[in-house]
Amino acid sequence: MDAKLVNPFVSAVESVLPQMGFQAPKRTALSMRQKNVAGLGVSVIVGFTKQLRGNVVYNMDEETAKFVASTMMMGMPVAEFDAMAQSAISEMSNMLTATAATNLAGMGLEVDISTPSLSIGEGFQLKISDGPYLTVAMDVGGHPLEIDIAVEKQ
């Protein structure tokens, strides 16, 4: 897959999250991976169609998920990763993906996105493509957020 396709996703994180009260998120690493994505605890998958086809996963541990949910809810303490926190994570994934879709349109790629599906559990495996995919590690207020991107131009 084309490494240039990572930028719209990274800039979505950099532009959307500060509006929701997060300190400037940074990209910390980028790697090309094969085979399955290892679920870190909370993984949200969103699919793409039209000029790009594939999947993107927002992959994080439960601590990060609770931190993100709490920040989105104006700092309300989130002790348990409950329905409201799940809804917040799902909403964040939707916003990031929709912004990435707008960024992709700016590159001349028209895409449609599916609704996010949130998976919770220990040690599950997630296969998102038959070939290699790119993993971007980001730092969001001191918490790690992994974005796995497997999209191909049609």
Partner 1 sequence: MEKVKIMIVDDSRVSRTMLANELNRTNFDVVAQAKDAAEAVRLYEETHPSLVTMDMNLPDADGIECSRRIYDIDPSAKIVMISAMKDASLITRGREVGISAFLQKPVNTNELIDTLMTLCQTEIGKVAVLRDSYAKAFVRALSQGIFSIAGLHSEVQLELDNRRFIDVSGVAVIIGLTGYPQGRAIFYMDKETLHKFSAIMLGKERVDDVAEEEASEAVEEAANIIIGRGISNINNVFKDREVRITPPGTISGTNIRIASPKLTTFRIEAVTPAGNIYMNIGFAEGE
Site residues, partner 1 (CB under 8 A): 39, 45-50, 53-55, 57, 82-84, 86-87, 90-91, 112-129
Among 51, 41, 70, CA closest to 145: 41
What is the smallest separation between the CB atom of 122 and partner 1, expressed in angstroms? 7
Rounded CA-CA distance 1/38 in Å is 20
- Closer residue to partner 1 (CB): 23 or 114: 114
- The dihedral sign for the CA sequence 132, 130, 11, 111: positive
Q: Which is nearer to partner 1, 57 or 136 (CB)?
A: 57
Q: Identify residue 19 by its one-letter amino acid code.
A: Q
Shortest gap between Cβ of 109 and partner 1 (angstroms)?
Answer: 14
Of 71, 74, 37, the C-alpha closest to 150 is 37
Q: Which is nearer to partner 1, 17 or 46 (CB)?
A: 46
Q: How far is the CB of 134 from partner 1 (least distance, A)?
A: 16
Choice between 12 and 57, CB closer to partner 1: 57
Residues 6+ apart with CB under 8 A from 116: 44, 45, 46, 90, 93, 94, 97
Q: Smallest gap, in angstroms, from Cβ of residue 71 to partner 1? A: 18
